[in-house]
Copies of this chain bind each other. A is one copy, B any other.
Amino acid sequence: MTKIVVCAPSGPFERSSAAKVEHFARDQPGITLVFHEQCFARAGHFAGTDAQRVAALVACANDPDYDAVWFARGGYGACRIAEQALARMDETARGKAYLGCSDAGYLLAGLYRNGIGRPVHAPMPVDVERADGNAAISRVFAFLAGDCTTLEPTLDGRPAAAFNLTTLAMLVGTPLMPDLAGHVVMVEEVSEHLYAIDRLFFHLAAAMPAMKLAGLRLGRVSEVPHNDRPFGADAEDIARYWCGRAGVPFLGRANIGHDCANRIVPFGARDVWGLAPTGDAP
């Protein structure tokens, strides 16, 4: 039995969405799932004040009743509370998995930097509102049950990490940024102009040599807004160009993104987590 608790360190979650996820989870063998009440709190942009979000995240992390902390959604706000929350996590927090993506990447980064638990880039409860959202949700449940067919297929012997591109660019140089030396880093983006993606890569490229990455993979870049003129290059051209300038191997694409096909990327090395090679069930 894997016991999952959901909290919302960024934007607020809807009760109607939570009901759908709970309903779906009820039919999944080996899973129990609880939404922390803080998911539904509201304070301006956020799911409650910074203090409320810290308190809920720390309560979930330090509660021995749960095996996994699942971040309800992105939407911005985790970076404001991550340091404070991490400082209050105890030994119990170190034993569990933390799953999410998008804005939750600030927490995955900070957890990884501090060696707390097992950060996992994964679909989130909010995906239940997408078409085929249950496929994303059940991928998380299957991963927690040890099913390695849920993993990003390019994962190999090298340690990996995955981020939203904006999130990674904003993490650079902050107290949340983990050591990614030797890692294959995957980035995805949504709802950003190509010029903004080029600009984020400009910023990352300056940091990349010191990061000593094994290489970079590009996930999906979706819902690019219409601009008044074509950029003149696509997202993969942009990633290749800046990897070239930074001297970092561009390794191709990754099957991650703001969509239901988003495959799972546990931070770090597969063997550390006891995961079998890709494609084999455990």
Binding site for B on A (CB under 8 A): 42-46, 75-77, 79-80, 166, 169-170, 172-175, 194-196, 198-200, 202-203, 206-207, 227, 229-233
Contact = CB atoms under 8 A, between A and B. Distances in A.
Contacts of A80: 198, 202
26 contacts: A43-B232, A44-B229, A44-B232, A45-B194, A45-B195, A45-B227, A45-B229, A45-B230, A45-B232, A76-B195, A76-B196, A76-B198, A77-B195, A79-B199, A79-B202, A80-B198, A169-B203, A170-B199, A170-B200, A170-B202, A172-B203, A173-B173, A173-B203, A174-B202, A174-B203, A175-B206
Contact of A199 (B76, B173, B206): B76
A268 B7 CA distance: 47
Contacts of A77: 195
B170 A172 contact: no
A231 B173 contact: no
The list of the 9 closest CB pairs from A to B, nearest first, reads A44-B232, A174-B206, A76-B195, A170-B203, A45-B231, A79-B202, A173-B206, A173-B173, A44-B231
